């Protein structure tokens, strides 16, 4: 049991470390783009992609039979 918990802790550490590295990388790219003046152009290209992704996620959540969302749409509580 102790070995399993150690492996789970190591896995959690690796995942958390990977997320931190990814966040730092995204921050560095955004900072470099801002300094060079390209951030506005990236935002212009990324905005439609983000909108489409959010719409797809909303449709997916509605399709799961979320009772609260259905109730709100129908005017119920």
Sign of the dihedral through C-alpha 27, 29, 33, 35:
positive
Reply yes or no on whether the pLDDT at 51 is more than 60. Answer: yes
Q: What is the mean pLDDT of the chain?
A: 86
Pull the structure tokens for residue 65. Answer: 């039979």
What pLDDT, on a 0 to 100 scale, did the predictor assign at position 26? 94
Tell me the H-state helices in 1-77.
2-36, 39-63, 67-73
Longest alpha-carbon distance in the chain: 54
Reply yes or no on whether the pLDDT at 67 is more than 90. Answer: no
Tell me how far apart the alpha carbons of residues 45 and 26 are, in angstroms, rounded to a whole number: 16
pTM, entire model: 0.55
The least confident of 3-12, 32-41, 47-56, 65-74 is 65-74
Which residue would you say has higher pLDDT here, 3 or 72? 3
């Amino acid at each position: 049991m102790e070995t399993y918990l150690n492996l789970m802790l190591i896995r959690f550490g690796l995942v958390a470390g990977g997320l931190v590295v990814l966040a730092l990388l995204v921050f560095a790219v955004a900072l470099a783009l801002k300094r060079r003046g390209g951030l506005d152009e990236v935002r212009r290209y990324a905005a439609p992609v983000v909108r489409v992704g959010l719409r797809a996620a909303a449709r997916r959540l509605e399709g799961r039979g979320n009772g609260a969302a259905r109730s709100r749409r129908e005017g119920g509580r």
